Amino acid sequence: MALRFFAALRMTERNAAPVILRERSDRRISAYDETRFFTSFRMTYNMWGEQYMNEYYVYIMASKSRRLYIGVTNNLLRRVYEHKNKLFWGFTSRYNITSLVYYEMTVDIEMAISREKQIKGWLRKKKVDLIETFNPGWKDLTEDWF
């Protein structure tokens, strides 16, 4: 069995360290996949010419009644702000989904999108178990962000 790695930030404490999650996959990883994984770290330059790595986030937000929303973004702070202030009409504003309860970070957008689709395909119990592994009290991880 091949292993795929996803970086997740465990935010149950204020200054918690990043945690690497390993997920088992039944398919074998080919040499092409390994090459694609190691060459997928795209570097970007800011306006001062400084080099940095892109970051993409898969996140789960919840309402007080624990209705879930799963999404992907390249700017978690901005996206959570949009959800909390209901800047766009949609599922999260209709059901008052405003608490960030879980997120993972990766450096490849394709990995982030595939992870989002994978989590969306899970049964609710598995999603709840994922959240409770890192955030047992379902606390809003953005309490001190805004």
Tens-place pLDDT, residues 3-31: 333 333 333 333 444 444 444 444 444 44
Average pLDDT of 73-102?
A: 94
pLDDT at 32: 44
Q: How many domains does the chain have?
A: 1
pLDDT, tens only, 40-86: 455 666 667 666 678 999 999 999 999 999 999 999 999 999 999 99
Q: Is residue 57 part of a domain?
A: yes
State pTM to two decimals.
Answer: 0.67
Residue 143: inside a domain, yes or no? Answer: no
Is 144 a domain residue? Answer: no
The answer to whether residue 87 sits within a structural domain is yes
Domain limits for position 81? 2-42+52-134
pLDDT at residue 126, rounded to an integer = 97
Whether 145 is covered by a domain: the verdict is no
Q: Who wins on pLDDT, 117 or 12? A: 117
Q: Give φ, ψ of 81 to 5 degrees.
A: -60, -45
Task: With respect to residue 113, please indicate whether it lies within any of the assigned structural domains.
Answer: yes
Q: Is residue 104 part of a domain?
A: yes
Q: Does residue 140 sit within a domain?
A: no
pLDDT at 4: 37
Residue 81 and residue 20: Cα distance in Å, rounded? 26
Question: Tell me, what DSSP letter sits at residue 26?
Answer: S
Alpha carbons within 13 A on the beta-carbon side of 77: 4
